[in-house]
Copies of this chain bind each other. A is one copy, B any other.
Amino acid sequence: MKKDIRKEPEKESKLLDSGFKLFMHKGFQDTSIQEIVDDAGVAKGTFYTYFKDKYDIRNKLIAKKSNKLFNDAYKKLKKTDINKLDEQVIFIVDFIIDYLEKNKLLLQFISKNLSWGIYTKTINELYQKQETENNTILELFLNGIKEQNIELENPEVTLYMIIELVSSTCFNSILYKEPLPINEFKPYLYKEIKKLINN
């Protein structure tokens, strides 16, 4: 028997849009499901055919938005002719910082609700349903290391540390100006990234 797919993707994406809009302006806790479905123009019960619960829509939103941001950065990099690995990484970091600085609400939303476990789990789910693109930065990184003869004991771990260092410090630098406002903080950060890559 063929599986019947009648679920309209429009409804899900409408709910996602409404959820995102409301989470941005009112925060996750202060947004009720009733408000989301009202905004999306569907009944409350419908919400629960597309999402397991309130956390489910939040996780999917974070995963999608983060992933899009990341892929945009990667696409823009491919249009440049930057060819040194450390500069490539810094280009991507810079793109992401700029974007988040201009979208502090998004950053706030991500940093308040993101946790590594949730993120990887949801990204994985979306990837298996082919609703998201692959993890391109790892490829970039591994290729760069091969081509440029960079010696790293464990590239995956190095990349991981760079990502963590960037995200945790930049979030604070942009949102709370701690320990420095982002523009003063950048040089230190980039120096450390170079150190991590070039030994």
**A residues lining the B interface (CB < 8 Å):** 111-112, 115-117, 120, 153-154, 156-158, 160-161, 164-165, 167-169, 171-172, 175-176, 178-180, 185, 188-189, 192, 195-196
Query: Which of B116, B158, B195 lies in contact with A172, CB distance below 8 A?
Result: B116
Contact present for A176 and B116 (CB under 8 Å): yes
Taking the full assembly, how many copies of this chain does it contain? 2
**Quick one: which of A157, A185, A188, A195 has the most chain B CB within 10 A?**
A157
Instruction: Given A115-B112, A116-B176, A176-B116, decide whether A164 and B169 contact each other with a Cβ distance below 8 A.
Output: yes
Contact present for A188 and B117 (CB under 8 Å): no
Contact present for B179 and A157 (CB under 8 Å): yes
Instruction: Given A168-B168, A179-B156, decide whether A161 and B192 contact each other with a Cβ distance below 8 A.
Output: yes
How many angstroms from the CA of A117 to the CA of B177 in the assembled complex?
A: 10
Contact present for A161 and B156 (CB under 8 Å): no
Contact present for A164 and B168 (CB under 8 Å): yes
Residues of B within 8 A of A116 (CB): 171-172, 175-176, 178
What is the CB-to-nearest-CB distance from A92 to chain B, in angstroms, rounded to a whole number?
Answer: 18
How many angstroms from the CA of A158 to the CA of B180 in the assembled complex?
A: 12
Instruction: Given A111-B115, A115-B112, decide whether A169 and B178 contact each other with a Cβ distance below 8 A.
Output: no
Residues of B within 8 A of A161 (CB): 165, 169, 188-189, 192
Residues of B within 8 A of A158 (CB): 188
Contact present for A192 and B188 (CB under 8 Å): no
Residues of B within 8 A of A188 (CB): 153-154, 157-158, 161
